[in-house]
């Protein structure tokens, strides 16, 4: 094979392999996925493989036994038939007194006819053995079929000449005139002619094509029977698997309904002592769970109602106390310095108390699911700048706004987003140790993001996990300069979630803190990538937490009611 032909062959084989992979990969991949996820598929596959192996083994054993029996019976029949024909031929030769060439030739022809009439075969080959003295009147070799001389092998001829047995046989293949092969047996023996003609080899051929046809019929029958049996067993296994796995599917369906919120979901009885125990246990568990959920719902509703009622009830005395405080503040000219300080502290605490009541009311609305968004096109850069300008006097350091993007307005509730930014900037002022603060804004095609970075004391990893908890403080002994209520970050996280966004925090002790707010640009966006990193770019790799990396964010699902402003 030349190099060019070899390269073309290799290229063709590669193309066939690529096409096969393209065709088989989806099928095999789907089957592997089903294999991993479905116990029924694994059961049916294993059962099918074991059954197929058993059917294949039994079929091969039966086919081998039938073929061996057919061949042995035909072989025995051929040997008996050949022995009978040889004996008849030798008797005819012994009864003849032929002595010249013509008479011996006539005798040889008569022997062939006798063999053909005595046996079931029509293939007879008669020839003088080699190695004898030359006899001029000896009849020449003769045969009734041209297939037989070509099928006689030297080994068989030598065995007949040199052996002492009455006859020898050999399995051969006859090549028909059309070139098709057919199995057969050649039986060889010897007869002795009179008048010094010598010993002749007598070969009788038996064509086993009919036996091969019978064996082929048996093979087809076994194949059809095996295919029908496999199909029947497959259907039976599928039906039995459906019956056996029906309670499991029922339990899975009931558990999915229960997990989706259908507290009345129950597992029906399966009329089986073991599965009925499972059904009863599952139903008892579901009833107990339903009772506990109802109790928790009642407790939650009572808690929400209590917080709401207390917040509303406290507004009346708070208003009265505020009026009294304002009266005292208007008449502080005649008071002592200590008394004036007490009036100022009273006013500040009344403001803080009022802020706490407002935060409690807002939290109770979120807990009750009664949140309404009043959306309007809002420029996040402008909003952040306004918030920073209002809080700059409270900060010892400079608060910088870096607008890398985000100038396009998005539909949000401006009041809630302003509250988020105010909480984040106020938190940075509170813990920034008087250092500068950077508010960054950027956007991409799917989301807009705002981050607030400070270089303050930072937080430990265990504290960072609770930063959005209600009334939680990293350092309870730390003095509050802005008078926070402990609910700011919790409300900010709820405000972000109600917009479909995400509020995240990164912090390292002694390095600082970075809060990142990411909002989607529309309701149809379910996943997005934040344009700003969660880990600040100025943080070295040694200071970076490997788990605090930004990436694709999936928009949380929350049912809210929106109202657009005109």
Per-residue pLDDT tens over the stretch 461-514: 888 888 888 777 665 545 455 555 677 788 888 888 888 899 999 988 888 999
Beta-carbon contacts of residue 281 (< 8 Å; ≥ 6 apart): none
Does the pLDDT value for residue 347 go beyond 70? yes
Return the pLDDT at 146. 83
Task: Compute the distance between CA of residue 141 and CA of residue 129 in angstroms, rounded to an integer.
Answer: 10
Computed over every residue of the chain, the mean pLDDT equals 79
Return the pLDDT at 516. 93
Does the pLDDT value for residue 227 go beyond 80? yes
Return the pLDDT at 546. 46
Does the pLDDT value for residue 232 go beyond 70? yes
Return the pLDDT at 549. 42
- Over residues 136-151, mean pLDDT: 82
Task: Compute the distance between CA of residue 534 and CA of residue 427 in angstroms, rounded to an integer.
Answer: 17
- Over residues 510-533, mean pLDDT: 87
Contact by Cβ (8 Å): 154, 148: no
Contact by Cβ (8 Å): 161, 181: no
- 3-class secondary structure, 99: coil
Tokens of 399: 């608060």
Contact by Cβ (8 Å): 472, 479: no
Would you report the helix, strand and coil content of the chain in percent, each value rounded to 5? 55, 15, 25
Alpha helices for 469-537 (secondary structure H) = 488-498
Single out the residue of 436, 439, 413, 414 nearest to residue 424, CA to CA: 439
- 565 or 150: which carries more pLDDT confidence? 150
- Over residues 420-447, mean pLDDT: 90
Residue 466 CB neighbour total at 10 angstroms: 12
Does the pLDDT value for residue 383 go beyond 90? yes
Does the pLDDT value for residue 555 go beyond 50? no
Q: Where are the beta strands (DSSP E) in 16-175?
A: 123-128, 142-143, 167-175
- 7 or 435: which carries more pLDDT confidence? 435
Return the pLDDT at 527. 82
Return the pLDDT at 212. 84
pLDDT-above-70 percentage for the chain: 83
Does the pLDDT value for residue 199 go beyond 50? yes
Task: Compute the distance between CA of residue 11 and CA of residue 409 in angstroms, rounded to an integer.
Answer: 58
Distances (CA, A) of 90 to 146, 197, 408: 24, 14, 118
**Domain 266-370, CATH number (from 3.30.70.3450, 3.40.50.720, 1.10.287.130, 3.20.20.70):** 1.10.287.130
Angle between helices 3-37 and 39-94 (to 10 degrees): 130
- 3-class secondary structure, 452: strand
Task: Compute the distance between CA of residue 401 and CA of residue 380 in angstroms, rounded to an integer.
Answer: 11
Single out the residue of 92, 97, 99 nearest to residue 126, CA to CA: 92
Task: Compute the distance between CA of residue 226 and CA of residue 108 in angstroms, rounded to an integer.
Answer: 53
Does the pLDDT value for residue 26 go beyond 70? no
Return the pLDDT at 159. 86
What are the phi and psi torsion angles at 502 (to 5°)? -135, 135
Question: 38-250: what fold?
Answer: Beta-Lactamase (3.30.450)
Contact by Cβ (8 Å): 59, 264: no
Beta-carbon contacts of residue 438 (< 8 Å; ≥ 6 apart): 399, 400, 402, 452, 453
What pTM did the predictor assign? 0.48
Domain 372-564 has CATH 3.30.565.10: yes
What are the phi and psi torsion angles at 301 (to 5°)? -65, -40
Tokens of 535: 């880990």
Residue 90 CB neighbour total at 10 angstroms: 17
Tokens of 532: 């700003």
Residue 462 CB neighbour total at 10 angstroms: 8
- 3-class secondary structure, 192: strand
Contact by Cβ (8 Å): 373, 563: yes
Return the pLDDT at 210. 84
Does the pLDDT value for residue 448 go beyond 90? yes
* Element containing residue 182 per DSSP (H, E): strand 181-193
Q: For residue range 247-257, list pLDDT tens digits in order.
A: 777 877 888 88
Residue 431 CB neighbour total at 10 angstroms: 19
Cross-strand bridge partners of residue 440: 402, 451
Please state the domain extents for the chain. Answer: 1-26, 38-250, 266-370, 372-564
Same fold, 38-250 and 266-370: no
Single out the residue of 222, 243, 255 nearest to residue 44, CA to CA: 243
* Element containing residue 528 per DSSP (H, E): strand 527-529
Q: How many helices and strands, by DSSP H and E, does the chain display?
A: 12, 15
Return the pLDDT at 437. 92
Return the pLDDT at 207. 87
Return the pLDDT at 31. 61
Contact by Cβ (8 Å): 73, 195: no
- 19 or 156: which carries more pLDDT confidence? 156
Contact by Cβ (8 Å): 129, 190: yes
Task: Compute the distance between CA of residue 237 and CA of residue 49 in angstroms, rounded to an integer.
Answer: 12
Task: Compute the distance between CA of residue 469 and CA of residue 493 in angstroms, rounded to an integer.
Answer: 10
Does the pLDDT value for residue 548 go beyond 60? no
Does the pLDDT value for residue 551 go beyond 60? no
Task: Compute the distance between CA of residue 65 and CA of residue 237 in angstroms, rounded to an integer.
Answer: 30
* Element containing residue 21 per DSSP (H, E): helix 3-37
- 3-class secondary structure, 364: helix
What are the phi and psi torsion angles at 243 (to 5°)? -70, -45
């Amino acid at each position: 094979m030349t190099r060019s032909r070899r390269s073309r062959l290799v290229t063709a084989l590669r193309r066939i392999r690529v096409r096969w992979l393209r065709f088989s990969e989806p099928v095999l991949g789907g089957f592997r996925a089903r294999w991993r996820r479905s116990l029924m598929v694994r059961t049916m596959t294993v059962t099918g493989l074991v059954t197929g192996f058993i059917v294949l083994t039994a079929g091969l054993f039966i086919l081998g036994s039938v073929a061996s029996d057919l061949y042995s019976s035909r072989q025995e029949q051929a040997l008996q038939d050949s022995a009978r024909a040889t004996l008849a031929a030798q008797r005819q030769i012994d009864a003849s007194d032929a002595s010249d060439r013509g008479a011996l030739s006539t005798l040889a022809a008569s022997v062939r006819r006798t063999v053909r009439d005595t046996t079931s075969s029509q293939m007879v080959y008669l020839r003088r053995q080699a190695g004898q003295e030359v006899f001029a009147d000896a009849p020449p070799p003769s045969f009734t079929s041209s297939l037989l001389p070509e099928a006689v092998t030297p080994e068989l001829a030598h065995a007949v000449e040199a052996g002492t047995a009455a006859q020898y046989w050999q399995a051969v293949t006859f090549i028909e005139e059309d070139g098709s092969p057919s199995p057969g047996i050649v039986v060889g023996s010897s007869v002795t002619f009179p008048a010094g003609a010598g010993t002749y080899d007598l070969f009788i051929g038996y064509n086993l094509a009919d036996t091969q046809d019978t064996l082929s019929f048996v093979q087809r029958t076994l194949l059809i029977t095996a295919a029908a049996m496999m199909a029947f067993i497959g259907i039976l296994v599928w039906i039995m698997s459906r019956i056996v796995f029906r309670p499991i599917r029922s339990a899975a369906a009931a558990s999915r309904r229960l997990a989706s919120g259908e507290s009345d979901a129950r597992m029906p009885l399966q009329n089986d002592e073991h599965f009925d125990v499972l059904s009863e246990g599952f139903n008892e568990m579901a009833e107990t769970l339903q009772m506990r959920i109802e109790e928790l719902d009642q407790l939650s509703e009572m808690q929400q109602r209590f917080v709401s009622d207390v917040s509303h009830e406290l507004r009346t005395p708070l208003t009265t106390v505020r009026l009294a405080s304002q009266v005292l503040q208007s008449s502080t000219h005649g008071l002592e310095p200590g008394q004036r300080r007490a009036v100022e502290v009273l006013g500040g605490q009344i403001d803080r108390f009022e802020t706490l009541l407002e935060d409690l009311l807002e939290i109770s609305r979120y807990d009750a699911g009664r949140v309404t968004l009043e959306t309007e096109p809002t420029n996040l850069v402008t909003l952040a700048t306004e918030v920073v300008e209002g809080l700059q006097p409270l900060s010892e350091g400079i608060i910088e706004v870096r607008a890398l993007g985000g100038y396009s307005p998005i539909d949000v509730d401006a009041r809630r987003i302003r509250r988020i930014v105010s909480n984040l900037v106020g938190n940075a002022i509170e813990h920034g140790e008087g250092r500068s603060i950077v508010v960054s804004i950027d956007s991409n095609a799917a989301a807009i993001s705002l981050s607030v970075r400070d270089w303050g004391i930072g937080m430990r990893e265990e504290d960072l996990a609770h930063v959005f908890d209600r009334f939680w403080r990293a350092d309870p002994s730390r003095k509050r300069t802005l008078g926070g209520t402990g609910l700011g970050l919790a409300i900010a996280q709820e405000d972000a979630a109600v917009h479909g966004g995400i509020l995240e925090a990164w912090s390292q002790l002694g390095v600082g803190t970075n809060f990142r707010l990411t909002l989607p640009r529309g309701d149809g966006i379910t996943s997005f990538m934040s344009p700003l990193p969660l880990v600040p770019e100025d943080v070295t790799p040694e200071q970076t937490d490997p788990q605090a990396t930004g990436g694709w964010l999936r928009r949380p699902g929350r049912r809210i009611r929106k109202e657009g402003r005109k």
